[in-house]
């Protein structure tokens, strides 16, 4: 198992918690110096708050842990390709890298619809690794929505 696959497993754990509480199953983990310093899952329904995406919650926690808004030296692992809002936060927080599981062809802003995080017009670009444990991440989403439609 690669380092990326291992850390994506931590994000998958968070996504499974989200699904268990009725949230869209997206999980995120921020890694700094080989340690998970922040973990989160979607909480939009629970809070309720439109911005309570796993990525934003994990970024906020990582900033508090490090005591700074610049997350240089950090990597964000997230089970699903980030949306435009989250991609903007990824750039603004100066993360070094984002690793995601499955693409989001309807709302992805890293590779699918938009390419925000490495757009040369912006003042910071983030290294991207896509497709890590993609089948497993997609299956979590597919199973969640299948179950929801059956109810």
Summarised one tens digit per residue, pLDDT across range 11-46 is 999 999 999 999 999 999 999 999 999 999 999 999
* pLDDT one-digit tens code per residue, 87-108: 999 999 999 999 999 999 999 9
Catalytic residue numbers read 55
Q: Note whether residue 150 is domain-resident.
A: no
Q: Note whether residue 75 is domain-resident.
A: yes
Q: How many domains does the chain have?
A: 1
Q: Note whether residue 151 is domain-resident.
A: no
Mean pLDDT over residues 110-114, rounded? Answer: 97
Is position 53 annotated in a ligand binding site?
yes
Q: Which three-class secondary structure state does DSSP give residue 76?
A: strand
pTM greater than 0.95: yes
Is position 49 annotated in a ligand binding site?
no
Is position 74 annotated in a ligand binding site?
no
Cα separation, 47 vs 52, in Å, equals: 8
Q: Cα(first)–Cα(last) distance of the chain, in Å? A: 37
Q: Supply the range of the domain harboring residue 56.
A: 3-145
**What is the domain-level CATH number for residue 18?**
3.40.140.10
């Amino acid at each position: 198992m690669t380092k990326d696959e291992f850390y994506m497993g931590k994000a998958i754990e968070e996504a499974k918690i989200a699904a268990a509480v009725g949230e869209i199953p997206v999980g995120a983990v921020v890694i700094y110096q080989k340690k998970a310093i922040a973990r989160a899952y979607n909480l939009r329904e629970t809070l309720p708050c439109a911005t309570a995406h796993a990525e934003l919650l994990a970024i906020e926690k990582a900033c508090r842990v490090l005591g700074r808004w610049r997350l240089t030296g950090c990597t964000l692992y997230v089970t699903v390709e980030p949306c435009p809002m989250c991609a903007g936060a990824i750039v603004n927080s100066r993360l070094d890298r984002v690793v995601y599981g499955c693409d989001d062809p309807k709302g992805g802003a890293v590779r699918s619809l938009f390419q925000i995080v490495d757009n040369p017009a912006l003042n910071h670009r983030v290294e991207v690794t896509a497709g890590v444990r993609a089948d497993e991440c997609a299956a979590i989403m597919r199973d969640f929505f299948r179950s929801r439609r059956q109810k």
